[in-house]
Structure 1
Amino acid sequence: METIKTETKQDNRNLSELVRKLIPFLGLIVMILVFQIAGDGKLLTRGNLTGILNQTVYVAIMAFGAVFVYSHGGMDLSYGGVIGFSVLISILVANTGVPFAVVVFTSIAAALVWFLLNGAVSIYLKVSPFITSLCIMYMCRGILNTVCATQKYSVPVYIYNYDNWTVKLIVLAAVYIVCYLLFEKSGIGKANKAIGGNPAAAQQAGVRVAQTRLIAYIISGITVGIAAVLLMVRAGSVSTSTGQGMEMNVITALVLGGVPLSGGSRVKMAGSLIGSFSVILLRNGLIILGVNERVIEGIQGLVLLLLVFLTYVKNKDGILK
């Protein structure tokens, strides 16, 4: 009798886990159906799909790296500011006539500096990553506003050669595969998830907590630098609004993809990809329905709040740890 009860409980847990994994996919399908019907078929037109995919690429690549940070229970709000800063530096370097490979390296290095600063301050100086990343976002935004206030910077003509779907899809697939292998199949991802589950237990099990968390920030910085290159190629210029609001898109993408912001073993890399499509689809669908852009931001904030409330696993340190 006891064996039957145990098997029943196990079956219920397996069913619950399966439903939890399917929810992000079902949510994406429901949104597609609702916006396609309510928008009189405008959602799935070729031009609109191209726009959705263009916006999804940047958010998805940043979300792949963000998974490492959020899996150990970290918090980062600097994505929008850092990607804007990286685009600015990349364009300034590109206009010196250097090879494109140097521009890519510069973009990654520019983003990496900020994420190393974020990680070092929050990990070794024990400052809340929420506060640290918020300060970094404002510093990057301040630099961008100062430099671009009176002059618009554009990319050299040759940069537009890289604005094609072959490049974007190859980069997207390559970044996802590398991040997937690191997160799901290597010790880096397992260690970050262990820290998110219980930092003290992870340390007792031999996990180097500080070093592991710093590696997560390094990976996230690299992905932001890569996303900045694609954004630069697509936009062709930089302004004071470049990257604005992307931090909300990244966080919402993770939550829509079923990634709990408290971290732990339930964090999956696939969720970041599904969530990235979902958040862009949500914004795009609301625009098709004629909703004002400012109202859309409010709706996105409400959706994020509700999802965090439903999925966040509370612990003694809370979301600001």
Structure 2
Amino acid sequence: MEQGNTATKGKRSSMGESPGIAGFLKNNKNTLIQYAGLALVIVVFAILTGGDLLSGFNLRTIIKQLAVLFTISVGMVFIFSHGGMDISVGAVMALSSMTAIYTLNAGAPLAVGILAAVAVSVICYLLNVLIAIQFGLMSVISSLSIMFIARGLVTYNVSTTTEKLGVMDAEQLKLLGRNIPFLLIFLTIVGLIGIVLFHYTKIGKHNRAVGDNPLAAMQSGVQVKKAKITGYALAGVLVGFASILSLARSTVISENTGSGMEMDVIVALILGGLSLNGGSKAKMSSAIVGSITYILLNNGLVMVGVATEVVSLVKGIVFLLVVFLLLKRPSSEVMPR
């Protein structure tokens, strides 16, 4: 029996499992960094701001700022989990917002404006993935083409309009942009649906399987192309909703609307512990915790009086630190496909 136990321990050791606390820390490194980062940001800035970070007024501001990033991040997990990469989100969000403006200004009800924005976003993301699949391109290349097209359309329309391009009747958007109970309910629903779809349905399981090994997933019966298309479609739906939330706050768009959102999303997901390689270790909590951490970090830095240009520098340093802690990988692994 002792020899058997020794052999079992040796086998576990050879498989890379570590016993005790060290093993727990190693096996749950991403999760621990994920929540430790959030706790650290809350504690540090709560102290530096004298508790103002968690004041009622500032929490309402944080929720409004969080709504767009949170919604998009939940959708992006489905893309990143299968090893994809999207950098078109800011431009697509701007194009969807512009579509909603034209639809609402034509006299359509708010529901129709929302559906129009979501439809345009889904079309953009389906084009994105279909181009990548059809021509065998890296997802980042196809998303770059969509980004240029969407940004070009927005820039052209904004530049050829004599007045600001915005919603004429902004009252109908107030509920979406300023009502805190509504935003909390909406974010809770988005988060719960995201968790269920990603962790408890074939949609999430297949996308994670593709992220681990596309060939093995296909041999196991997973329709790789279908899994990717479904992931992009879900991301498109949420980017469409996010465009309405963004429009509800500003009621107007410019050629710079959504600029930099793609990097905000990537940084938020990395802060949440999501590996850019995707796979079975991908978790929806990365979007939830990461987006909250990112908004709190950004808000805290502004509250303590850090200059805007320095805020970007600090966020860049934090991003590199988290990447160093989370993304050390064997040379055999590949970058996002």
Bin of the TM-score, shorter chain as denominator length: over 0.9
- SS of structure 2 residue aligned to 1:206: coil
Corresponding residue for residue 326 of structure 2? 311
Aligned residues: 321
Moved more, 304-313 or 261-270: 304-313
Question: What is the one-letter code of the residue matched to 1:59?
Answer: L
TM-score with structure 2 setting the length:
0.88
Quick one: distance in 1 between partners of 2:321 and 2:299? 20
Task: Name whichever of 32-41 and 54-63 sits farther off.
Answer: 32-41
Structure-2 separation of matches of 1:317 and 1:132: 22
Instruction: Give the structure 2 partner of residue 258 of structure 1.
Output: 273
Amino acid at match of 1:120: L
**2:4 corresponds to 1:2:** no
* Cα contact 2:276–2:336 (8 A) shared by 1: no
Give the match for residue 3 of structure 2. Answer: none
> What is residue 188 of structure 1 aligned with on the other side?
203
Q: Percent identity?
A: 36
Deviation at 1:191, TM superposition (A): 0.9
**SS where residue 9 of structure 1 aligns?**
coil
Structure 1: distance between partners of 2:86 and 2:59: 29
Q: Whose radius of gyration is greater, 1 or 2?
A: 2
Residues 1:120 and 2:130 are matched in the alignment: yes
**Corresponding residue for 2:141?**
131
Q: Is the 8 A contact 1:118 1:136 kept in 2?
A: yes
Structure 2 gaps, min length 5: 1-5
Q: How far does residue 108 in structure 1 lie from its aligned partner after superposition?
A: 0.4
Match of 1:172 among 173, 187, 205: 187
- For residues 48-94 of structure 1, the C-alpha deviation after alignment (integer angstroms, 9 at most, x for no partner) is 22221111111111111100100011111111111111111111111
CA contact (8 A) 1:81 1:140 kept: yes
Equivalent residue for 2:48?
A: 38
Name the counterpart of 2:174.
160
The one-character-per-residue Cα deviations of 1:285-309 (angstroms, maximum 9, x if unpaired) are 1112222222322332333333334
Measure, in 2, the Cα distance between the counterparts of 1:132 and 1:109. 19
Aligned residue identity for 1:133: S
From 212, 217, 220, give the equivalent of 1:202.
217
Q: In structure 2, how many angstroms separate the alpha carbons of the residues matched to 1:171 and 1:33? A: 27
Which sections of structure 1, spanning at least 5 residues, go unmatched?
A: none
**Once superposed, what is the RMSD of the aligned Cα atoms?**
2.1
| 2:75 matches 1:68 | no
Q: Given residue 171 of structure 1, which amino acid in structure 2 is its aligned partner? A: F
Describe the superposition over 1:129-172 as per-residue Cα deviations: whole angstroms up to 9, x where unpaired: 11221232232222222222343122213222443123222221
Residue 217 of structure 1 deviates from its aligned partner by: 0.5
Cα shift at 1:23: 2.1
Whole-angstrom CA distance in 1 between matches of 2:234 and 2:175: 27
AA partner of residue 7 (structure 2): E
On the 8 A contact 2:75/2:238 being kept in 1, the answer is yes
Structure 1 counterpart of 2:158, from 148, 151, 160: 148
Distance 1:239 1:228 in 2: 13
Alpha carbons 2:63, 2:183 under 8 Å: kept: no
SS, match of residue 277 in structure 2: coil
Decide whether the 8 Å contact of 1:75 with 1:319 is kept in 2. no
**Mapping of 1:102-117 within 5 angstroms?**
102-117=112-127
